Copies of this chain bind each other. A is one copy, B any other.
Amino acid sequence: MPSKVITFGPSQPLQLESGKSISPVTIAYQTYGTLNAKKSNAIFICHALTGDQYVVEDNPTTNKPGWWKNLVGEGKPIDTNKYFIICSNVIGGCMGTTGPSSINPKTNKPYALDFPMITINDMIKTQIMLLDYLEIDKVLSVIGGSMGGMQVLEWMTSYPNRIQSAIPIATSAYHSSQNIAFNEVGRQAIMADPEWHEGLYLDKKKRPAKGLSVARMTAHITYLSEVALEEKFGRNFQDRLSPTFTFDADFQVESYLRHQGSNFVDRFDANSYLYLTRSMDYFDLITENNGVLANAFKDLKSHVCIISFTGDWLFPTSESRRIVHALNASGANVSFVDIESNKGHDAFLLDEPNMFNAIEGFLKAVESKNC
């Protein structure tokens, strides 16, 4: 099933946080389930850095199952028989929404680095445009993990009246120094690839595949915990019993990372990777609120369920706890679910019954309160 698509023309340019604007803006999105007559059963899902709008069904690019199909669907914790689900590809992305690989109307060539920098706040602006287009005033919940969680936090601070509840998962109120560092390594790997051509690779019918692959490999290490790597691969050799004393992928973990890198190149645009990692780096609700995170949530009336994982070292529990403290300080209605897991940051994408139960229960409670 191809994405639904809505294009906002010259009369509705997207005004960006940087001061620049984009027009036209196309948003590619998917919906699942049926919007009820009261329009009170909509749930907006925000995807992560390399995610997309294909939450449930097979992804048409990769032919892999939808990234949250264990959580969302008929009879699933987020039950599409009950809820109307919306997920759109973020602005700056590469799955149908306008991004650096889109055609720049001024040049009739791909934007490349002429695409203006986008922020997490800009992503939400497009999501609000979509919500307005769908004539939905308020969603029952907004939910997402990692960069998706940043988006949920941004909804909570910028559009508190458009949400009845929010579920930020495995995320942070700002991107840490270490996380900026890992993103920067990824960007430098892409830009170091001569096939990147200062961003103009599409024009030249090239792709910075090696650089993007190295970027993905680096990031992938941060998505897993050390324990997960040790349990999954340890020091096991790949298809051999002893070392080759070469630079071949002797170890399973090397083979796995190379595979992750080369697969990623087939499905993701390198410039989108630059822009989206940068938007995460810029995310900082603390500085924006003069060091007092609670101020970010002063207008928030929604119920919030914060979920973190003990084995996540990219967005550790301490960062979720900081959000919980701020929400409590602002008088918000907040639940905090810190899930014991050794799977690392990727836990939010996996079959995690504790997460599923928390989300299902929280949504039911929100509905029953009809807040």
A180 surroundings in chain B (CB, below 8 A): 235, 251, 253-254
Q: Which of A175, A187, A210, A230 has the most CB of B within 10 A?
A: A210
Q: Say whether, besides A177-B233, A188-B258, A258-B188, A221 and B274 are in contact (CB < 8 Å).
A: no
A282 surroundings in chain B (CB, below 8 A): 243, 245
A251 surroundings in chain B (CB, below 8 A): 177, 180, 184, 281
**Chain A positions 293-350 with a Cβ under 8 Å from a chain B Cβ:** 313
A229 at the interface (CB under 8 A from B): yes
A21 at the interface (CB under 8 A from B): no
> Contact between A235 and B185 (Cβ–Cβ < 8 Å)?
no
A187 surroundings in chain B (CB, below 8 A): 247
A176 at the interface (CB under 8 A from B): yes
Give the interface SS of chain A, mostly helix, strand, loop or mixed.
Answer: helix
> Contact between B194 and A194 (Cβ–Cβ < 8 Å)?
yes
A278 at the interface (CB under 8 A from B): yes
A174 at the interface (CB under 8 A from B): yes
A174 surroundings in chain B (CB, below 8 A): 235
A101 at the interface (CB under 8 A from B): no
**Chain A positions 202-233 with a Cβ under 8 Å from a chain B Cβ:** 210-211, 213-214, 217-218, 221, 226, 229-230, 232-233
> Contact between A245 and B116 (Cβ–Cβ < 8 Å)?
yes
Task: Count this chain's copies in the assembly.
Answer: 2
A35 at the interface (CB under 8 A from B): no
A residues apposed to B, CB below 8 Å: 17-18, 20, 113, 116-117, 174-178, 180-182, 184-185, 187-189, 191-194, 210-211, 213-214, 217-218, 221, 226, 229-230, 232-235, 243, 245-247, 249-251, 253-254, 257-258, 261, 274, 278, 281-282, 284, 287, 313
Q: A176-B230, A184-B217, A192-B210 are in contact. List 14 more A-B contacts (CB 8 A).
A: A20-B245, A116-B245, A117-B246, A177-B230, A184-B254, A185-B218, A185-B257, A189-B189, A192-B214, A194-B194, A245-B282, A247-B274, A250-B281, A251-B281
